[in-house]
Structure 1
Amino acid sequence: METRKEQDWKEIIRPSNNLLSLNLKELWEFRDLLLILTRRDITAIYKQTILGPLWFFLQPALTTLVYILVFSKAGKLSTGNLPPVLFYVSGLVLWMYFADCVLKTAGFLKENTAILSKVYFPRLIIPISIVMTNLIKLGIQLLLFFLVYVYFLVKDPSIKPNIYALLFPALTFVLGLLGLATGILVSSLTTRYKDLSHLITFAIQLLMFASPVIFPISAIENETARLFIQLNPVSGIIEAFRFGFLGGGYFSWSLLAYDTIFTLALSFFSILCFNAVEKKFVDTI
């Protein structure tokens, strides 16, 4: 019997020796897997729950209510010239998006070791799918913001959008990339330093208090404290979002430029660290 001829195609998987390698073509070829993982994650969030997707609304709604009672009513913290409910919900939906991107991607190597050690696909597909899942959640939670927003547009003439609201897609992209880069960096370092998996949750909680989620930058009188808050790359994004849609808050092109440069630099460093540990992380976890 005649020997079957070798097929005229084959897939060759070679390890990359370039620490800065980012194969975007390969990521695109696995886009179907990306969509499958995103759909799976969204379904898993509300599967076998009573309220289903309503949980996406409950978290920012209840948190906003608590912030109003604790910080605005009891603590008498200023929210500038913005209504407290609109101020808090606008900051919370963006902060929750960033925090979820970081915390969910920070352990992706450790949590998916079993499948990553047996099946080949671009490893970055997993954290990217997590960010896409959180982007969908952000879209749903923004409905809550816009419900409150429309109410105040009708009630309060001082609340009005401006041309800077068009920056929203770019702000969302930079914020998601910042969360992705931070999570990938932490996940890469966790393969060697296990304590980071516990530290990152605490660090994100502390970072929120160094962000204009509870108070506006304009309310900070101390110059050193204000500079410290502005060094947080999330601060400029949240304030720019408020300024564009609400017409209040602090807006600075230089601050947004800093946030963008910081995010790109962190992304560069994260890819460097990830490529360094990708080949042998199974042996170290």
Structure 2
Amino acid sequence: MATESETELNCEDWDQILEPNSAVFSLRLGEVWTYRDLLYLFTYRDIVSFYKQTILGPLWFFIQPIFTTLVYVLVFGTIAKLSSDGLPQVLFYMSGVVLWNYFSECFNKTATVFRDNASLFGKVYFPRLLIPLSIVTSNLIRFAIQFGLFLAMLAYYVAGGVVTPNRWALLLPLSVLVMATLGLAFGMSFSALTTKYRDLIFLLQFGVQLLMYATPVIYPASQIPPGIAAVLAWNPLAPLFELTRLGFLGTGTVSVGGVAYSVIFAAVAFLVSTVIFNRVERTFMDSV
């Protein structure tokens, strides 16, 4: 027979119950929503830390894509003389730079989330998925600022009749969502692996750079030789870059099948990365 104290204990209404989660596919999105204020704070922290203790502050959001675009115009457009499909080189390279910055930042920062936040994870409980989500969200704000710069340059050329945007531009949210999902999925998988294999961190920047050259960032897909195009067609990022250029610049090699492949690839990659992330989350403190 239960004692009176045990009965009172069982009848208590607890505010929160912590228990092991055995479902590998569970994202605990309910917890993410409960901790949404913390997600906001993490996002704010990421944005502020980007330009904290810098002279130019938020101006770096604009300086980085502008200087990168000018370098690409000089090196790839003027010296290497790569084709830009007849488009103004500044617009062509700026569109690629802004999109690639978003994906690469999501990937790079999510890939080291366990290492960079080990001290925080070891002190207090909160849904670990909040950190990767805050990275994607804060970089989305940066992307919006830099894409606004691109739109300002685009307006100048549209007014001059050089380029003509079309209805494909309405699919920009889809492209950004798929890129965010891919960056999150690749980063979560990579972060899980680096908890045990630290030397993979040294391959991160090198691998991301190689991936950029396998993506039509500095060249149009129409200029890829057929034999190489068959290999690069497996890159789920390629249709997204071409879709954005087709919509805003009027030139691009896009197929419905290619876009569908990117969407499906991103969804599957996210499910797989969720399994890996949930498994490593339980024991990663033993190896970091």
1:209 aligns with 2:220: no
Matched to 1:251, the amino acid is V
Matched to 1:229, the amino acid is L
Correspondence for 2:269 among 266, 270, 285? 266
1:47 aligns with 2:47: no
Aligned residues: 280
Q: For residue 97 of structure 1, what is the aligned residue in structure 2?
A: 102
CA contact (8 A) 1:97 1:138 kept: yes
Q: CA deviation at 1:48?
A: 2.1
Q: CA deviation at 1:32?
A: 0.4
TM-score normalised according to structure 2 size: 0.94
Q: For residue 41 of structure 2, what is the aligned residue in structure 1?
A: 36
Long gaps (5+) in structure 2: none
Seq. identity, %: 47
CA contact (8 A) 1:217 1:229 kept: no
1:244 aligns with 2:244: no
Q: For residue 230 of structure 1, what is the aligned residue in structure 2?
A: 233
Hey, what's the Cα distance between the residues in 2 that align with 1:99 and 1:237?
14
SS at match of 1:115: helix
Q: For residue 179 of structure 1, what is the aligned residue in structure 2?
A: 183
Per-residue CA deviations over 1:206-228 (Å, capped at 9, x if unaligned) read 111111011000011x2121122
1:120 aligns with 2:135: no
Hey, what's the Cα distance between the residues in 1 that align with 2:278 and 2:14?
28
Hey, what's the Cα distance between the residues in 2 that align with 1:224 and 1:274?
36
SS at match of 2:248: helix
Matched to 1:30, the amino acid is Y
Hey, what's the Cα distance between the residues in 2 that align with 1:45 and 1:177?
22
Per-residue CA deviations over 1:217-258 (Å, capped at 9, x if unaligned) read 0011x2121122221111110110010111111111111111
Matched to 2:118, the amino acid is T
Which of structure 1's runs of 4+ aligned residues deviate more than 3 A?
Answer: none
Hey, what's the Cα distance between the residues in 1 that align with 2:97 and 2:157?
18
Correspondence for 1:161 among 158, 165, 189? 165
Matched to 1:190, the amino acid is T
Correspondence for 1:151 among 156, 159, 164? 156
Q: CA deviation at 1:69?
A: 0.6
Q: CA deviation at 1:158?
A: 4.4
1:109 aligns with 2:114: yes
